[in-house]
């Protein structure tokens, strides 16, 4: 808000004019943590505000050769007349380039895509379902019916944990293994989603034939099928996902296949983390397994990670020398705002025009917590990279202080400062929007 900006300007003026030396660290804390940070509820957003302001509240800003962006277009003008400063401001571009915010040039592509999607969503929201006459209506009915039949024919039966592989539901120390418990919880959620999908598909087909009344929710579902959107009933019973209906369906059946393979064929060599309703629960199960094996209190453990240089798509097998003794391998993640260089094993700048980079397998390795430093403390040579379920990076603020869309933050090796990647908006995603 403008009031925050004016308050920050007043504070900067006060500290600069009343102190012999400019208190850079104090300015960063007062403005980013208090003035602006007082209105920010998301932990990752606070970190972003901190990193952006560090680029401006720094001793180097007093050097005339200091630039705010790599191109050198944005800088603080050297001391001079008012007219020279005005001339500099007039020559700045009308539209700010992404670099002034620390972003990669790919951010322009993302912005344009978002603008286009917003326009198309607005157009679809004002459109009416069906055609203008009997022929159009019949054509729409046929299209929706064929899609409903195609989906229904692929729908599986409800999962039955009694048919689970002995190793999946293995009983040890008098109780079921932690990953087996997590799988059982996930299958309950999938069974409910399958039930909702089957019943709504059945009712929709009967409504089109005129056997039952076309209710409001069924009409909404009908229109969603026409415009390639996921019906609200499925979204409410399902997992966070921004994909259109066609991609959502394929993603759903991929999840069904993975969960069935885990249940029937036994523990996986590598786990498809995006396939879960609640990935955070999977992290807890991994810690609990380690806790039971080594008789260590789970409260003293955190889930660390170690990068690998090989990929796994769920098919085939991984050689025994690459399988970890403790912890698990996960796959299926994407990085936005940067890429992971498999040859150097560090984060590097994004390839121009490539918005998302598939991540290799990651070894989730439980380890003891260091109580002498905060859990999100900056580690030299590492970027504390947040992982989100969708690209929206927003959700309901939970009691843990994190967004419900946030999964975990993992240390990824880097040769550049952590602040650089924060300004780049670098994060990992469980799934793409298409």
How do the residues of the chain divide into helix, strand and coil, expressed in percent and rounded to 5? 50, 15, 40
Task: Pinpoint the alpha helices (H) of 356-423.
Answer: 418-423
User: CA quadruple 180, 184, 189, 191: dihedral positive or negative?
Assistant: positive
Cα 192 to Cα 185, 197, 234, 409: the distances in Å are 11, 9, 10, 30
Place of tokens 């009416």: 128
Which of 182, 162, 407 has the alpha carbon at shortest distance from 303?
Answer: 407
Tell me the sheet residues that pair with 366.
303
Q: How far apart are CA 226 and CA 139, in angstroms?
A: 11
Distant-in-sequence contacts of 103-111, Cβ < 8 A, 24+ apart: 103/337, 103/423, 103/424, 103/425, 104/337, 104/338, 104/349, 104/350, 104/424, 105/352, 106/337, 106/350, 106/352, 106/353, 106/354, 106/355, 107/425, 109/353, 109/355, 110/355
Per residue of the chain (434 residues), give pLDDT as tens.
889 999 999 999 999 998 888 899 999 999 998 998 888 888 888 899 999 999 889 999 989 899 988 888 889 888 889 999 999 999 998 888 898 888 999 999 999 999 998 898 888 777 654 444 445 557 889 999 999 999 999 999 999 988 888 888 777 666 778 999 999 999 999 999 999 999 999 999 999 999 999 999 999 999 999 999 999 999 999 999 999 999 999 999 999 999 999 999 999 999 999 999 999 999 999 999 999 889 999 989 999 999 999 999 888 889 888 999 899 999 999 999 999 999 999 999 999 999 999 999 999 999 988 766 665 566 788 999 999 999 988 777 665 555 688 999 999 999 999 999 999 999 999 999 98
Residue 144 phi, psi dihedral angles, 5° rounding:
-65, -40
What domains does the chain contain, in order, with CATH numbers? 2-109 (1.10.8.720), 128-267 (1.20.1270), 270-434 (3.10.490.20)
The DSSP output letter for 23 is -
Q: pTM for this structure? A: 0.88
Contacts by 242-251 with C-beta closer than 8 Å and gap 24+? 242/390, 242/391, 242/392, 242/431, 242/433, 243/431, 243/432, 243/433, 243/434, 244/434, 247/434, 249/151, 251/431
Could you give the CA distance from residue 300 to residue 287 in angstroms, rounded to a whole number?
Answer: 10
DSSP string over 173-196: TTEE-HHHHHHHHHHHHHHHHHHH
**Residue 401: what pLDDT?**
56
Which contacts qualify for 310-313: CB closer than 8 Å, 24 or more apart? 310/360, 310/361, 311/358, 311/360, 311/361, 312/269, 312/270, 312/361
Q: Looking at residue 133, what is its pLDDT?
A: 42
What's the number of CA atoms in the CB half-sphere (13 Å) around residue 182? 23
pLDDT score at 165: 87
Q: What is the pLDDT of residue 129?
A: 47
The pLDDT value recorded for residue 374 is 61
pLDDT at 365: 93
In the DSSP assignment, the letter for residue 295 is T
- For the chain, helix (H) and strand (E) counts, in that order, are 12, 13
Task: Give the single-character DSSP code of 309.
Answer: S
Predicted local distance difference test score (pLDDT) of residue 378? 62
Give the contacts of 419 (CB within 8 A, at least 6 positions apart).
50, 51, 54, 55
pLDDT confidence of residue 335: 97
Helix axes 134-154, 178-209, angle to 10 degrees: 150
Residue 94 is predicted with a pLDDT of 86
**Other residues' Cβ atoms within 10 Å of the Cβ of residue 418:** 20
DSSP-assigned letter for residue 35: I
Q: Cα dihedral angle (154, 157, 161, 167), rounded to 10 degrees?
A: -30
Question: Environment class of residue 25 by beta-carbon count within 10 Å: exposed (0-12), middle (13-18) or buried (19+)?
Answer: exposed
Q: Are 402 and 41 in contact (CB under 8 A)?
A: no
pLDDT at 372: 60
Residue 161: which of 138, 196, 185, 194 has the closest Cα? 185
- By three-state DSSP, how is residue 232 classified? helix
Q: Read off the tokens for 322.
A: 């690459």
Q: Which residues contact 374 (CB under 8 A, 6 or more apart)?
A: none
Size of the chain, expressed as the number of residues it contains: 434
CA-to-CA distance for 395 and 430, rounded, in angstroms?
Answer: 15
Whole-angstrom distance, CA of residue 72 vs CA of residue 269: 49
Distance, CA of 170 to CA of 178 (rounded, Å): 9
Say if CB 365 and CB 304 are below 8 A apart. yes
């Amino acid at each position: 808000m403008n009031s925050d900006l004016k308050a920050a300007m007043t504070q900067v003026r006060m500290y600069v004019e009343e102190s012999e030396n400019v208190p850079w660290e104090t300015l960063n804390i007062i403005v980013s943590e208090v003035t602006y940070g007082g209105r920010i509820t998301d932990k990752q957003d606070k970190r972003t505000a901190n990193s952006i302001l560090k680029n401006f509240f720094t001793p180097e800003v007093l050097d005339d050769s200091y630039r705010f962006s790599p191109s050198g277009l944005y800088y603080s003008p050297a001391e001079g007349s008012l007219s020279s400063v005005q001339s500099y401001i007039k020559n700045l571009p009308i539209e700010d380039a992404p670099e002034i915010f620390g972003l990669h040039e790919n951010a322009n592509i993302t912005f344009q895509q978002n603008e286009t999607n917003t326009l198309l969503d607005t157009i679809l929201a004002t459109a009416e379902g069906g055609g203008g006459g009997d022929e159009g209506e019949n054509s729409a009915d046929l299209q929706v019916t064929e899609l409903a039949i195609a989906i229904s024919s692929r729908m599986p039966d409800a999962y039955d944990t009694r048919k689970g592989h002995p190793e999946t539901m293995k009983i040890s120390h008098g109780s079921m293994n932690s990953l087996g418990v997590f799988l059982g919880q996930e299958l309950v959620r999938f069974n409910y989603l399958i039930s909702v999908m089957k019943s709504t598909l059945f009712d929709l087909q009967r409504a089109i034939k005129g056997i039952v009344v076309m209710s409001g929710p069924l009409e909404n579902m009908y229109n969603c099928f026409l415009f390639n959107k996921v019906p609200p009933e499925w979204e409410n019973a399902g997992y966070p996902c921004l994909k259109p209906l066609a991609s959502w369906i394929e993603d759903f059946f991929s999840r069904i296949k993975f969960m069935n393979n885990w249940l029937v064929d036994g523990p996986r060599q590598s786990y498809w983390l995006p396939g879960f309703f609640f990935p955070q629960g999977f992290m807890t199960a991994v810690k609990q397994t380690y806790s039971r094996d080594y008789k260590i209190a789970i409260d003293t453990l955190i889930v660390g990670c170690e990068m690998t240089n090989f990929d796994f798509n769920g098919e085939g097998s991984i050689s025994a020398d690459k399988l970890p003794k403790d912890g698990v391998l996960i796959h299926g993640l994407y990085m936005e705002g940067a890429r992971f260089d498999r040859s150097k094993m560090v984060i590097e700048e994004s390839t121009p025009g490539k918005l998302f980079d598939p991540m290799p397998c990651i070894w989730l390795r439980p380890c003891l917590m260091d109580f002498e430093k905060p859990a999100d403390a900056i580690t030299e040579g590492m970027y504390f990279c947040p992982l989100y379920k969708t690209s929206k990076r927003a959700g309901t603020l939970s009691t843990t202080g994190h967004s419900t869309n946030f999964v975990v933050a993992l240390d990824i090796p880097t040769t550049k400062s952590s602040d650089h990647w924060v300004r780049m908006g670098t994060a990992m995603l469980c799934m793409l929007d298409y």
